[in-house]
A and B are shown apart, each in its own frame.
Chain A
Amino acid sequence: MSGSSLARVHLFPVRHHSPRSTAMLRAFLERVRPKVVLVEGPCDADPLVDVLVDAKTEPPIAILGYATEGEPRSALWPFAAYSPEWQALRWAAEHEVTARFIDVPVGVSLAHDRASEEHEGEPYEDEGEERGEHEARAEPRFDPHQAAAEARGLRGFEELWEACFEAPAYEPQQFREALLAHAALVREAHPVRWHRARDAFMAARIEAIVAGGEGVDGVDPERIVAVVGAAHAAAFVAGDVDPALLSTLPEARPAATTVIPYSFPRLAAQLGYGAGNRAPQYYQLAHEAGCDFRQATLRALLGFGAELRSRGFAASMADTIEAYRLARALADLRDKPEPGLDEVREACIATLCHGDAGPVDAFLWRGMLGHRVGRVAERIGKNSLQEEFWREVDERALPRDDEPTEVALLLREPRAVETSVFLHRLRVAGVPYASYQGTYKDRAVRRGEVDEAGGVDALGRMRESWMAQWTPSTDIALVERIALGSTLQQVTDQVLGQRLEEATGTADAASVLLEAVVTVCPRPAADAMRACDRLAATDDDLPSLARACMSLSGLVSYGSSRDVLMGGGSKATLDALCRKTFDRAVLRLRPACTGDDDAVAEIPRALQTLHDVALSQPGVDRDVWLRAAAELVEDYSIHPRAAGVATALLYLARHVSEDDVAIYVGQRLSDTLHPQAGAAYLEGFLQINAMVLVKNRAIVETLDAWVCEVEPETFRNILPLLRRVFGALGPTERRTFLENLINARGLGDRAAAAATVITTTDEAVLAEVSDDLDLALDDLDDLL
């Protein structure tokens, strides 16, 4: 390849997202007046140029490149208004000259990302100057940028960049040379094969365009401006382009591109990847002020003052003026031409915040990152999912900002129900937008308990609280999900269908059914009901069956706020299914309760669930359950823990009298050959209801006798179990238990003391007595 035409093309080095680069580039373009503008960016995104520069497109926006086959994967090329690449495209459009992207196609980048993930740890990494499309890579070990900053006594590269390139007023030519010199240094310290291969690709493409290829008529190289990252430009200038490296580029994956709105918070989050901004809003201010950083600083500080006042802090205009003066004095002291972000921060803390960095970190700095969200002209083919999403968001006045906003829904209103369905569909489809916060956000968050978004709980809800936030990943997900269907409902159908295929137990199928109801997807709902029926026939997993019963019973009794939308109809089928599943669960009761400790670990919960369903759901046969449970109580071949649970449940439901309970417990404990079994029975019982056990004098006596009779050797074996059993007792239960035990043992005076505890209200006496009780407790500890 002849390097001659490459050398004759006007190269303009830039840093992505830099107001100064942008201003310099525009001045440079005005002077050179090129016929063709070439920009670093995926060359298969050329058709998107028109949309990018459309008058209705407002940055921040991003080119989204995504794989169309195989494993989903995407990459982003974000642009802010102050991104030189975007301004180059704009200039070209304004002057009606050709603009082209010249970097490797999206498919190659995606293949490279994948390869570099697989080779993690090898020297595959990008350097700071590069843009953020490669999100999953490790940080470089040696950072030439950091070294350069420290040499000048500054804290980091961002500060150095601001002081040396962003703030000083340059002539375009001067700027170009300064940046090239800086980039050459960095590049030498850090050659990366992938970037060198891209150098070769871009060089080849520039050559081809000069030669009249790529749909551009032959142009004099001197009428071409190429806008590339500083490191690439430095390579071109040094003539360090190795065409042999072209063969090292990975094979392109099938991919497509589109334009999506982007946001300032995301741009700031990209900082770690070298292509973001510390504070997009600040750079936006600088860009709007024509790179006057003094102006940007003043406007930032005025904004801080206003924000502080709106939050009830004292922040006078005099403070703001002082902050501005201080920022400038600081810049002066640091030998910087203009104040920058660090000065804004420090001046704000010293003046407006009275030395307290708290408010800055808590909320002021977010203002510097900004909330701006871009807009993409409608002519770009938004896919149907994006269309649907944005239409719904607009119609329902849902938040469209990149900032968490609460959405409260009252599900009595049909419109709110529709909104709820929309949000649940997004949730099931895996589109990040809104997260469920409980019925009342504040209450749930305060208690730290938010019930599951879907599930039985979702059916009976009267209100829902969501935290919604649009982020570019929302659009990314919408673009990626188009493979599953062209409407949100189709996507949800597909996702649920897939989950149904993967379902192995009745509970899984029932939960799909619930999700289908919550998201109003009749087809998966019908499928799920069939699957439930089919799976229940062979399901031996009692907990799974019990959970399914719970779900179905919930559906039967509450219906849901979605009834109108689902059109009813299947009510009878549902009733039948619920009854059938319940019967099957009861049938499998006995076999499920046999086995070792591990096998029955989940059984108590399942029994409780079935019991609840039996008592609350009129559609199922309650007597069948009661009979089955009563059999469990007297069954010595099942795991004693299950028997304990069954006894307690029946006692609670008043199907076993207190006297009977005493008898059952006595029976179980009388088996001195198997004290382990007795302990397990107790554990099961206490899990459901501890009070009855400790309240009943007869039972406590039996218990006491049992513990005393156990052989020391055996006692040691069952001790952990006993500790677990009695450790779970609450304070009241413990006290009652103690009192009964003391009485039973005739511990004399202390028993009287314990009795006073129960009856007395005098605190002084109580305090005295509690000492006695402590002693008694110690005694008990000795006993146990």
Chain B
Amino acid sequence: MSAVIRLPAEQKYEAELAALARKDEGSRPPGWRLSPRAVATYILGAGKPVDGVAITPKFIGDASLVEVAIATLVSDRALMLVGEPGTAKSWLSEHLCAAISGDSSLIVQGTAGTSEDHIKYSWNYALLLAEGPTEKALVPSPILRAMEAGKFARFEEITRTPAEIQDALISLLSEKQVAVPELARIAAAQRGFNLIATANTRDRGVNEMSAALKRRFNFVTIPVVSDLRQEIEIVTKREAELRSDYQVEPTPPAELVAMLVTMFQELRAGVTKDRKTKVNPPSSVMSTAEAISVLFNSAILAQHFGDGAVGPKELARSLVGAVAKESAEDLKSLREYNETVAKGRDGLWKTFHAEARRILKAS
């Protein structure tokens, strides 16, 4: 096992990608490592093994979204993935880059402090002062590196970046080149370059993208999963991956996962699954990603502080911590949910209700 906490997708799924490449008979767009159809297979998984390697599904949900995303990337349009927080936008973006370019690490993380330097290039100032502007002193941004290598770049949370900085992308995406006047040269994009950006709908209106920039993107909205079975499948799978990455032993029983996901979906929707009881949705994000992290957290609690088995007790503890992130009001919603909905249910719910009640009283 490597000492790296988290391997990038192209390394983690190296075997799958290699198998797909060996068997790939479709035509590959310039600079692509796989044909579009093989990319779709990699993301959505295959029913039977390809060249002896099982292809696990990376994205569980509406296949047509993934197809639209891939079809977009075939052209020179950039792709924008939008959605609620925790709907696997970055996850999908990482896997798309891994499959298409074999490199998912050329990332710009959008923040309020992102500047044009992060998007284009900056300088090694010691060298710049010592030798003046030279190729050696130039520090290319991940995007510039992607352009010159003919790979995909990723721009995470683009709407966190001020609109005028975002606009630096316009010329970059339409001219496919970056001028470096200091060196009197133009860095031109190699075939195979494209950009995948993600944006959070909760940030809508914070740094609204300009119409000019919007025109350079095709948009794919990743919906919140509302199908119980589908979300259980996602949570189970992703949590198992996390546990294997971090070598956490205790495996949560299926019933516990089902309970957790039910809880998340009910709190998110503001109404119970049978549509009979109204629930106050908490203001903190009740996303699939959050459910995964709550479950994983419970497993850690069980391993280090419990008896090695993940149960309602651990779940209640990590859930309260996760929900109470934003405000005390959220604890109220959770308490109300616990007393009105969880209380009346059987099985693991009973233990959960008792545990949650104890913890909520203390907090």
Contacts and interface: CB of A to CB of B under 8 A. Distances in A.
* Residue of B67, B68, B75, B219 most packed against chain A (CB within 10 A): B68
A316 B215 contact: yes
A319 interface: yes
21 contacts: A155-B64, A314-B211, A316-B215, A322-B218, A326-B71, A332-B36, A332-B71, A333-B37, A333-B70, A334-B67, A350-B68, A351-B77, A351-B218, A351-B219, A354-B214, A354-B219, A355-B80, A355-B220, A355-B221, A356-B219, A357-B221
A329 to B, nearest CB: 4
Nearest to A350: B218
B255 to A, nearest CB: 29
Contact of A322 (B68, B77, B221): B77
Contacts of B211: 314
Given A314-B211, A350-B68, A354-B214, A326 B75 contact: yes
B72 A350 contact: yes
B52 to A, nearest CB: 23
A152 to B, nearest CB: 13
Taking residues whose C-beta sits less than 8 angstroms from the other chain, chain B's interface range is: 20 to 34
Majority secondary structure, B binding face = helix
A133 interface: no
A330 interface: yes
A318 interface: yes
A319 B215 contact: yes
A347 B221 contact: no
Contacts of A357: 221
B75 A329 contact: yes
Interface of A: 153, 155, 314, 316, 318-319, 322, 325-326, 329-330, 332-335, 342, 346-347, 349-351, 353-357
B82 interface: yes
B40 interface: yes
B74 interface: yes
Interface string B59-103: 000011001101110110100101000000000000000000000
Contact of A333 (B36, B220, B221): B36
Contacts of B219: 349-351, 353-356
Contacts of B80: 355
A322 B37 contact: no
B75 A347 contact: no
Given A326-B71, A350-B218, A355-B80, 5 more contacts: A314-B214, A326-B77, A333-B67, A350-B68, A350-B72
Given A355-B80, A357-B221, A333 B64 contact: no
A342 B62 CA distance: 13
Contacts, number: 63
A322 B72 CA distance: 9
Contact of B72 (A318, A319, A326, A354): A326
Contacts of A354: 214, 217, 219
B216 to A, nearest CB: 10
Nearest to B65: A346
Contact of B71 (A318, A329, A342, A356): A329
Given A316-B215, A319-B215, A342-B64, A330 B71 contact: yes
A326 B68 contact: yes
Given A322-B75, A350-B220, A330 B215 contact: no
Nearest to A346: B68
Nearest to A323: B218
A355 B209 CA distance: 13
Contacts of A353: 219
B103 to A, nearest CB: 22
Interface string B37-52: 1001000000000000
Contacts of A333: 36-37, 40, 67, 70-71
Contacts of A316: 215
A351 B221 CA distance: 11
Contacts of A334: 67
B215 A329 contact: no
Contacts of A153: 63
B68 A347 contact: yes
Nearest to A322: B77
Contacts of B75: 322, 325-326, 329
Contacts of A349: 68, 219, 221
A334 B26 CA distance: 12
A155 B62 CA distance: 10
Contacts of B72: 326, 329, 350
B247 to A, nearest CB: 37
A268 to B, nearest CB: 21
Interface in B211-237: 211, 214-215, 217-221
A326 B79 CA distance: 12
B221 A330 contact: no
A155 B72 CA distance: 21
Contacts of B70: 333
Contacts of B217: 354
A771 to B, nearest CB: 25
B67 A326 contact: no
* Residue of B36, B71, B77 most packed against chain A (CB within 10 A): B71
Contacts of B220: 350, 355
Nearest to A357: B221
A326 B65 CA distance: 12
Nearest to A334: B67
Leading 3 A-B pairs by shortest Cβ distance: A355-B219, A329-B71, A355-B221
Nearest to B69: A350
A346 B63 CA distance: 12
A325 B77 CA distance: 11
A334 B214 CA distance: 27
Contacts of A155: 64
B59 to A, nearest CB: 15
A483 to B, nearest CB: 46
* Residue of A153, A316, A325, A355 most packed against chain B (CB within 10 A): A355
B218 A356 contact: no
